Every structure is written in structure tokens, then in C-alpha cells.
Amino acid sequence: MKKLRYWFEFVFVSFFAWLIPLLPLPLLHGIAKLLSWIVYHLDRKR
């Protein structure tokens, strides 16, 4: 099971390492702001 998890991790990291440099910076900035907003609101203490 651990080998399968590592394989999926390798595939996804490799894919995003290839994809991210191809995307325009304004799009990456928007995605980063959206993801950071989501994490902030899900992770804040209640």
C-alpha cells in the first residue's frame, strides 16, 4: 500500500512540476490566493 501511495505522490508532483511553469503568472496568483483563503478559513481556531 505504501508503494502505491508513493507512486501516486511521484506522479502528481511530477505532473504539477511540469504544469506550473506553463501557466500564466496572473492565473497562478489567483489560484494561490484562492487556496490560501480556503486554508485560512478551514484552519482557523474556533
**Backbone Cα Rg of the chain:** 15
Exposure letters 12-35 (e unless 16+ CB within 10 A, then b): eeeeeeeeeeeeeeeeeeeeeeee
What residue numbers bound the domain in which 37 lies? Answer: 2-43
pLDDT higher than threshold 90 for residue 45 = no
- Cell 503568472, residue? 25
Total domains in the chain come to: 1
Phi, psi of 20 (to 5 degrees): -60, -45
| Cell numbers linked to 27 | 492565473
pLDDT in tens, 3-34: 999 999 999 999 999 999 999 999 999 999 99
Supply the pTM of this predicted model. 0.64
Mean pLDDT of 31-43: 95
